[in-house]
Amino acid sequence: MFYYIFLFLGISLIILDVPILISILKNKETAVDIKRQYKVVGMVFLIGIASIGCAFLAKADNTNPVKEDLLNYINIELPKVVEAESITVIAWSMVSGDNYTDDYTMYETLTETIIPAYREFLNELEAITIRLQTKEVRALNEKYIEAATTQNNAFILLKSLLETQDGSRMADVNERLDKSRRLVREWQVEIQDLCKKNGVQFNPQW
């Protein structure tokens, strides 16, 4: 919108300048009058050029593909996957850490809630990549997918260890969970950096 306003204003001023200049050339004025009129013509012309410049700056800002893709990613795409991820986070917090009670409860929660919900979350996250338009935002989502895949593999491995009551690979589970958290932190830093670079305020409501 601002592009067309500035462009119209700039072109109109320059067009208006032409008959004024012709009038000056035709009329016999004193040197002082001519100088004064040339100043007016020059000012109108410069304002016209400045307006056209502002028009192209406005258009450049409105057609930043990374900014548009990033806004779509933050405001449209990511909210679609929040529910499935939240189910997993809440369920996992209820059976791990200080809330751990026994292996059976953890196994049942992994089998019935955590793994199915997280698989849905991961599928939806992977589908987002197809809809993204720029390599910069796709790279962001791929980092998120890597983090989610690592955590999903940790859940699946833990379920297998609980089935066999094999505690020898618990270090592998913890390592994958730690790696997933590290990748999420990296994703958060990278999305904030990309937002700052493209003039997008990162203040998600999800």
Predicted pLDDT at 38: 45
Predicted pLDDT at 31: 47
**Positions in the chain whose pLDDT score sits under 70:** 1-14, 16-62, 205-206
User: How many whole angstroms separate alpha carbon 188 and alpha carbon 178?
Assistant: 16
Domain boundary among 42, 62, 82: 62
Backbone φ/ψ region at 154: left (φ over 0), alpha (ψ -120 to 50), beta: alpha
Residues 89 and 170 in one domain: yes
* Reported pTM: 0.69
pLDDT in tens, 104-127: 999 999 999 999 999 999 999 999
**Residue 47 belongs to some domain of the structure:** yes
Predicted pLDDT at 203: 79
Predicted pLDDT at 63: 80
Q: What is the CATH number of the domain that holds 146?
A: 1.20.120
Name the residue range of residue 180's domain: 65-197
Q: What secondary structure does DSSP assign to 102-148, as a single string?
A: -HHHHHHHIIIIIHHHHHHHHHHHHHHHHH--SHHHHHHHHHHHHHH
